[in-house]
Structure 1
Amino acid sequence: MTDLPDWMRPPRAEGWFAEDLDSLPEAPRHTELIDGALVFVMSPQRWWHGEIVTDLTLALRAQAPEGFKVGREMTIRLDARNRPEPDLVVTTAPYDPDCTWFAPEDVQLVVEVVSPESAHRDRTVKLCKYAEAGIRHYWCIEDEDSVPAVHVYELDQPTGSYAPAGIFRHTLRRSLPFEINLDLDKLAPGQSG
């Protein structure tokens, strides 16, 4: 058994904090902080996942009104011990080229594309954490025989938890966080050409 590299050892007895992620240049590219623990995405990314994220990013950017920005692979500092990295974020934060994370109040929509290794986190852990942080809209995209099914959630303010707002296949039309009209079949790799 080999020793852990020094950078993998928590800097304090309480573990990791959100600001620690910015001082870990040796960490794998997609490192998240969940409940004070580092989570590394070490499995190879599926082509389907990458294509859905790329195509959805481009489609939402084309429809986003002034003041909304669509980005990917940026963390959200939910609190001192949680800084997940969703697949896609829609934010109203002003552009800052040195930004490494978004505040929850600036995030209008979070999208997770479910992979086998992230399924539990995307469907349960992140669903609760994003709601607790007050993020109003959450989409969880599932692979149904290589066709995307988008599970849409809206924050219920009185309970502070997400309420299902529908499962969309083939077409997704939403008026929040802005007018969105998507042909989901065109997001599926091999479907658009």
Structure 2
Amino acid sequence: MLRIVNRVLLGLAGLVLLAVGGAVLAAGAGLDVPSWWPWHGPDGVLLSTGARRRWRGEDWWWPAVLAALAVLLLAALAWLLVQARRRRLTEVLVNSRDGEGAGLRGRTLEDAMAGEAETLDGVDRARVRLTGRRTAPTARVALTLEPGASPGETLTRLRDGALAHARDSAGLKQLPAKAYLRTAGHRPGRVS
């Protein structure tokens, strides 16, 4: 739903900017523009001299203009950050081999993978996050290893265990994954 709203808003903003830009170009080139349009000809200005003088005397005018521009800038930056954010996969399409398919909640598959990964020797905690498309998910696995655990062996067990089981149970051809490893921190003790 968010994707549809995003595309509609982008389309509307693009149409408005295109219409305004085209009208400004037409007025600047000396073409015919509607009588209500603020610019007429290449020497046209947005605010007339009288309007500029009228607003210059108001103490609230420039702070209000700057605040409105700042709000627009912050809204545009927030929108840009939302676009760049990686979204969590809400559903994985499971191949049920009957031609229909079924939907599996992404959070359920994440929890199952994390639970199985936590049973591996040397793993203290595991977190899994699915991203990508529902027909081709990608797993991001964060493992916290116990002191003395072998990272190579743990990754091999993860690949052959939790990742392979999730891929097979969902009927996926592949399940690419990125694993992030760190060791469990512990408080240093005082030796006396």
Query: So what's the TM-score if we normalise by structure 1?
Result: 0.25
Query: So what's the TM-score if we normalise by structure 2?
Result: 0.26
Structure with the higher fraction of residues in helix conformation: 2
Structure with the higher fraction of residues in strand conformation: 1
